[in-house]
Structure 1
């Protein structure tokens, strides 16, 4: 998994403002028979694997860890605030 420099800069700012421990990727149910990945700012949970990627502490739910190998998190500032996108997720057959 990778975090772009743009996403890193935004995430560092958010983590500081929210006084949060990490970016967390979690199992968010099933879509089209495949696990969905959710993303939030918060605390790691007991079953998470912890990483430091491009200076960002990241907790990944073990149930979806195998889906994150080719994942890239991109981010940009918009008029509505920071926006993040996960690129490289496996294609779903729906």
Structure 2
């Protein structure tokens, strides 16, 4: 998994503003027969694997760990606030 430098800067600010925690990737149900990945700033849960990626603490739900190997998190600042995009996920057939 990779986190771009721009996404790192935005995530670092979000973590600081929330008073701590980490970036957490979790199983968010199924879409088109494939697992969906959710992303939030929160404390790690018991079944999470903890990693540090580009200086960001990341907790990954072990149920989706295999889906994050080729994942890249990109970010940009918009008028509505920071926006993030995950690329490198397996293609879905829908």
Distance 1:31 1:8 in 2: 27
Name the structure 2 match of 1:40.
40
TM-aligned CA deviation for residue 20 of structure 1: 2.5
Name the structure 2 match of 1:24.
24
Q: Which residues in structure 2 correspond to 1:79-94 (within 5 Å)? A: 79-94=79-94
Stretches (4+) displaced over 6 A = none
Which structure 2 residue ranges, 5 or more long, are not aligned?
A: none
Name the structure 1 match of 2:74.
74
Which structure 1 residue ranges, 5 or more long, are not aligned?
A: none
Distance 2:20 2:61 in 1: 17
Distance 1:62 1:20 in 2: 22
